[in-house]
Structure 1
Amino acid sequence: MKNIPLKKKERIDDLQINNLKIIQNTEKFCFGMDAVLLANFAAQEIKKKNLVLDLGTGTGIIPLLLWAKAQPKKIIALEIQEQMAEMAKRSVLLNGLEDTIEILQGDIKNPPKEIYPNTYDAIVTNPPYMKNISGLQNPEQSKAISRHEILCSLEDVLRTSKRLLKPRGKFYMIHRSHRLVDILSLMRELHIEPKRIRFIQPTREKAPNLVLIQGIKGSKPEVTIESPLYVYEDNGDYTQEIYDIYQWQKEK
């Protein structure tokens, strides 16, 4: 583990997998369970020979977890916010993964020249959930950009993914379940055919609030609805599947 200097309000968090660490800023956007669930969902299919792209990487959490769980050949991660991208780069250096994970600063709508069309075996993305005209925006600008479609929309993410994926390349996304119709309509319009859908429910009694989606560029229609992922048991404890995804040991 390299000695990487921290900036004001930054801390190092232990990811509790493969001895990986991540730098986060307590005043900026910190990763949540969404990113962890998405990384696990994608890692089930990503191969060691794959070239993977993460659109809107934020703190760089998804590339770190994908490397831990699937160890693809190369992961390129794009982030528009300069301070977030710089922090993610230091997390990569902290873990000695600079030969495997590359962080680039740039716009999803117009990616840097280092990102080539029709190249990637898999794209993962945890995009802003809320339309820019709806919801209460966080006054901290970096948090607002991460949560609201201020700098890119769902359509921007999908159009760029279609352009960058190889034919038959796989697309993985987590999003709010109430936007499912928008998501599926745009995916089919852009020839990223939805193939796997898994709803995430806070408990068995509550309706889904998130959805994991996998699509394949240029695939034929046919979708599999997987069993729901439950986050909490009735007593408030995490379910066994959440413990397994995080690789936590359940207290006896």
Structure 2
Amino acid sequence: MDSVKNRKELVIDQEKTGYRYSIEPFLLADFMPLLPDQSVLDIGTGCGIIPLLLVHRESTLKVTAIEIRDSGQAQKNIHQNGMDRQISLIQGDFLKEAKNLAPESFDHIVSNPPYRKIQTGRINPDPEKALARHELSLSMSSMLDKSAPLLKRGGQISLAYPPERMAEALRELENRNLHPSVARFVHGNFLTPAKIFLISALKEKKSDFSVAPPLTVYNKDGTYSKEAESLLRPA
């Protein structure tokens, strides 16, 4: 088991085998605008990293985290960081559990969802990695079908996907009255194409769509850029 210390001794453990998080949770947690006392739903929480980062930013949040796989590691992380009061964990399939959540009860929904369609790329033989990377149990359309009714009017949904799915994401969001408000592209370095795009949309509330300045993860020498360093290991 690996332990990551982040943001002034926030401790995040993850298993050494199976699916392991990358930079996307840190990007999403920073990308999301937060206000005191907001309610947040994290779909596919994994080891609980996004709720931990969000509550560390704003301690008055109430976060519901859902994970289809064994959620023991997430529960341990929540407890060892003293966030049992702010974060509630549900182990189960979001598509089935959504009916048990109150309509229009969340100010913000966030997800770092499976990013590959079933027909694209080799499916990993490790079942945890396969679930996390391919849409075996949660497609973009099915997630948005169940997510949209749970958002309050004017509430926000934030997602991370590869850039080749941007047009699809914009279309699927608009089809559910979720109006894209801001996007951001994430590059490995300043010479490479974007690897990730972050997108936020507002429910039943249109606003001018903007593209934030790109984020570059690495400097030319392979070290973290100043902004990436501040996200991963802030002072």
Task: Establish whether residue 238 from structure 1 lines up as the match of residue 224 from structure 2.
Answer: yes
Residues 181 and 206 in structure 2, CA contact (< 8 A), matched pair in contact too: no
- Show the counterpart of 2:208: 222
Give the partner amino acid of 1:35. P
1:27 to 1:194, Cα distance in 2 relative to 1, 3 A? same
The gaps in structure 2 that reach 5 residues or longer are: none
Q: Is residue 63 of structure 1 aligned with residue 37 of structure 2?
A: no
Residues of 2 paired with 1:179 and 1:112: CA distance? Answer: 24
> For 1:5-45, what per-residue CA distance to the aligned partner results, in whole angstroms no more than 9, with x for missing partners?
xxxxxx25133214221221111211111111111111xx1
Does the CA-based 8 Å contact 1:52-1:72 persist in structure 2? no
* CA deviation vs aligned residue, 1:33-89 (integer Å, no higher than 9, x gap): 1111111111xx1112101110111111100011112224311101111x1x12211
Q: How does 1:66-85 map to 2 (within 5 A)?
A: 66-81=54-69, 83=70, 85=71
Give the secondary structure class of the aligned counterpart of 2:9: coil
SS in structure 2 of the partner of residue 155 of structure 1:
helix
1:18 and 1:68 in contact (8 A); partners too? no
Counterpart of 1:193 in structure 2 is 179
Q: Which of 115, 130, 146 in structure 2 is aligned with 1:129?
A: 115
2:39 corresponds to: 51
Cα 1:112/1:207, change in 2 over 3 Å:
closer
Moved more, 134-143 or 18-27: 18-27
Aligned 1:77-226 pairs, distance under 5 A: 77-81=65-69, 83=70, 85-111=71-97, 114-220=100-206, 222-226=208-212
Q: Which whole-Å deviations, capped at 9, do the CAs of 1:174-224 have from their partners, x for residues lacking one?
A: 111110011000000011100001011111111111101111000125300
- Counterpart of 1:34 in structure 2 is 24
Query: Is 1:20 equivalent to 2:20 in the alignment?
Result: no
CA RMSD of aligned residues (A): 1.4
Q: Distance in 2 between matches of 1:57 and 1:177?
A: 22
User: What TM-score does the superposition give when structure 2 sets the normalisation length?
Assistant: 0.95
- Contact 1:54 1:75 (8 Å CA) reproduced: yes
* Deviation larger for 100-109 or 190-199: 100-109
Q: In structure 1, list runs of 5 or more residues that go unmatched.
A: 1-10
